[in-house]
Amino acid sequence: MDMQTLLMLALGLGIGIGVTAIITMINRRQGPNDGMDQSGLAELKGQLDAITQTTTTLQNSMMNNLQNHQQTLNETLRQQAETTSLKLGNLNERLAVIDRAQEQLKALSSQTTRLENVLANNQARGAYGEIQLENLITQMLPASAYSFQHNLPNNKRADCLLQLPNPPGPIVIDAKFPLESWYALGQAEDDAAKAQARKQLEVAFIKHVKDISERYIIRGHTAESALMFVPSESIYAELHNHLTKALETSFAERVYIVSPTTLMAILNTVRAVLRDVRMRQQAAFIQEQVGRLLKDIGRLNDRVGKLDRHFNLAQQDIDDITKSTRAISRTGEKIEQIETDDTATKIDPIVEPPRLDH
């Protein structure tokens, strides 16, 4: 109920109470010998009755308005309650989604912790790099183009050996990297600590590069270079941004550092080289087969010529046979024309048949 409705209700009640009080006072003051004009009193009472009736009507109207406002207020409260309940339901659903997300974050955090524990171990770290390297190579190259855990002539075992033709020859890929120094750099809190950790990381990289050069570059058996695989783009970026001495050493030792992205580009090039080699091999095979085909065609021409000569001889024999059969036919016709009647007065001399010496 608003303030205007309350004021109107209070005003109506006040008017009604006032009218009632006036009527009561008039009735008390009026006596049997009162000199007041009876007609004036009657008129005043009539006006007061009209005011009372009007006040009653106003009160009834105000009560109806009050009931209508009460119904409207109840309906508004009901709608607000439904809206609030719906919003609370949506809020509960969102809270449930947030709870599930928090559980997933906890699981991811535990997995990340386990991954850090794996990478903190040298052997496990090497296995992690080897697995990532293996996934990349098996997706990009045919099985005949690589070999994992390959034993070299110097009794060293390479993580991966790319079987490339000469030049350049087989190339070794090493999948180990100094992750401890990288972790120390990430945990450094101030500039001095970062500089010290970066220096240690550079020293570790230089040592590992030299080890790869000594172990996996074998003259006459491998290519004159090798690859060092780091399974992290951030480490690769750190090398190129801050560890310039490590890069210079890698170039000098012909050990080239590659990340997953750059290794993909190298493997695409290797695949193109292998495809070109296969095409050259197929071209040589095709040329050999074409030479054999030409020889076969030559032999076929000779045999067709011989067969043609045989056909010519056979045709000549057939013509001779045809001539003989025609001569025989003519002789037979002449024999049939000889007269055998006894009354013949003249006997034609017997014509000697032609000789079959054709």
Would you call the peptide bond into 168 cis, given omega within 30 degrees of 0 as the criterion? yes
**Model pLDDT for residues 237-277, shown as the tens digit of each residue:** 888 888 888 888 889 999 998 888 888 888 888 888 888 77
Query: Which residues, listed in sequence order, are joined to residue 160 by a DSSP beta bridge?
Result: 148, 173
Q: Tokens 């970026």 label which residue?
A: 237
Cα–Cα distance measured from residue 4 to residue 6, given in angstroms and rounded to the nearest whole number: 5
Cα–Cα distance measured from residue 264 to residue 160, given in angstroms and rounded to the nearest whole number: 15
Considering only CA atoms, which of 213, 257, 210, 261 is closest in space to residue 233? 261
User: Could you give the maximum distance between any two Cα atoms of the chain, in Å?
Assistant: 214
Predicted pLDDT of residue 6: 53
Q: Phi and psi (nearest 5°) for 171? A: -120, 130
Is the distance from CB of 213 to CB of 170 less than 8 angstroms?
no
Query: Which residues, listed in sequence order, are joined to residue 174 by a DSSP beta bridge?
Result: 228
Predicted pLDDT of residue 73: 79
Rounded to the nearest 10 degrees, how much is the dihedral formed by the CA atoms of 182, 183, 184, 185?
Answer: 50
Counting as low any pLDDT under 50, the low residues of the chain are: 32-36, 341-345, 356, 358
**Model pLDDT for residues 27-39, shown as the tens digit of each residue:** 555 554 444 456 6
Considering only CA atoms, which of 176, 131, 138 is closest in space to residue 156? 176
Predicted pLDDT of residue 339: 55
Predicted pLDDT of residue 159: 87
